[in-house]
Amino acid sequence: KVLVKIVISRLKLLRNKRSIRIRQARLDIAQLLGNRQYQSCFKRVEFLFKEQNLLDGYDMVDNFCECILKRLSYIRRHKDRPQDINEGVSSLIYASARCADLPELQCLRSLFAKRYGHEFAYAAVESHPDSCVSQQIIEQLSVRLPAHDLKLKLMKDIAIEFDLQWDSSNIETELGEPSKNSL
C-alpha cells in the first residue's frame, strides 16, 4: 500500500515537470515556425510527441495505481485476478520496464511476480497477447516516432494556438516529404 502511494506521489511531481517541458516545447515550436526554421521545428515536434505520450502514460499508471489501491484488500485475500485487477497489474508491470524515472514500479513488479508468478510478470513485460496489458499504455510508452502527417498536424495546431500564419506545404517543400493532403 505504501509503495503504491509513493508511486502516486512521485507521478504527481513527474507530471508537473513534464507539463512544464511540454509548455516550453510548444512555445519553442511556435517560435521556430514564426522564424521559418522548419527543420529544427520538425525535430522539436518529435520531442514534444514523446513528452506528451509519456505524460499520458503517467496518467494511465496513476489510474492503475488508484485501481490497485481500491482493490488492495481483495488482492491480499485472493490469488485470482479479476479483469480490472489483471489489466492494472499487467499494465503496471509493463510500465515498470519502460519508466526508469519510477523505480518504485520495479519493486511493485517484484511483489506482483511473487504473488502471481514470474511467468505472468514476464508475459506482461513483453506484452504477450494473453497478458492483459492495456493497449493504450503500450502505445503511450512506445518509443516509435510519430508519422509525418501527425507531426504536421501538431505543428498546425501549435500555429493556430499561437495565431501564426503557416502553410504546411512550406515544410513539405523544405523537407522533400509532401503529404497526400496539405494541412
What CA dihedral angle connects 150, 155, 159 and 165, to 10 degrees? Answer: -100
pLDDT in tens, 76-131: 999 888 888 999 999 999 999 999 999 999 999 999 999 999 999 999 999 998 88
Rounded to an integer, the average pLDDT of 135-141 is 96
pLDDT of residue 121: 96
Rounded to an integer, the average pLDDT of 64-68 is 96
pLDDT of residue 180: 46
Q: Residues 65, 25: contact at Cβ < 8 Å?
A: no
Give Cα separations from 111 to 104, 106, 116, 176 (angstroms). 11, 9, 9, 51
Rounded to an integer, the average pLDDT of 23-43 is 94
- Give the three cell numbers for residue 2: 505504501
The residue count for the chain: 183
Query: Does residue 178 carry a pLDDT above 80?
Result: no
Give Cα separations from 181 to 75, 95, 120, 152 (angstroms). 51, 36, 45, 11
pLDDT of residue 81: 86
Q: Is the pTM of this model over 0.85?
A: yes
Per cent of the chain over pLDDT 70 is 93
Rounded to an integer, the average pLDDT of 152-173 is 86
Domains of the chain: 2-175 (1.20.1260.60)
